[in-house]
Amino acid sequence: MLFMSTYSSPIGDFRLLSTKTKLKKIILPSEDSNLNPAPETKMNVPPILEECMKQLSMYFGGTLRSFSIPVEPDGTSFQLRAWTYLSTIEYGETISYGTQARGIGIEKGARAVGSANALNPIPIILPCHRVIGSDGKLRGYGGGSDLLYIKEYLLAHEKKNI
């Protein structure tokens, strides 16, 4: 059983999906295809979603730098390794896709981790926005360039609140 709630952020409304105890997914504002709840989804707000909304509010308010939400993303073992590594990137810092790949033991895996990050189901909390091209340029967010404004906003927000 999944539970869903909506969180209004400065960059739009997010949908939060969880089990009773773990966050499963954050649906960004323009991911329209997934906005309707599945038949087995309840609109109740269990404590995990309340805590997630509280921590997101603190993050966007500039007072939270590290999330402590239990997460359970669905993905391959490689994706899970790539996403877990994201939590080691400090607030306000950025690394390259190559650095992330080397961090999980794959010397020439920049494109592979980029593909994994594009499918990150829990953006912001698993901060894939902190991974950029080796040339310092933003390379995409949420699987494409149409959400790049969110990545730009999040990076600027963190730099402002260091």
Look up 52 and say whether it is catalytic: no
CA atoms of 121 and 25, how far apart (whole Å) = 5
Alpha-helical runs (H) found in the chain: 47-60, 77-86, 97-103, 110-118, 148-160
Q: How far apart are CA 99 and CA 2, in angstroms?
A: 34
CA 140 to CA 117: how far, in whole Å?
10
Which of 71, 128, 131, 154 is an active site residue? Answer: 128
Q: Which residues are catalytic?
A: 128
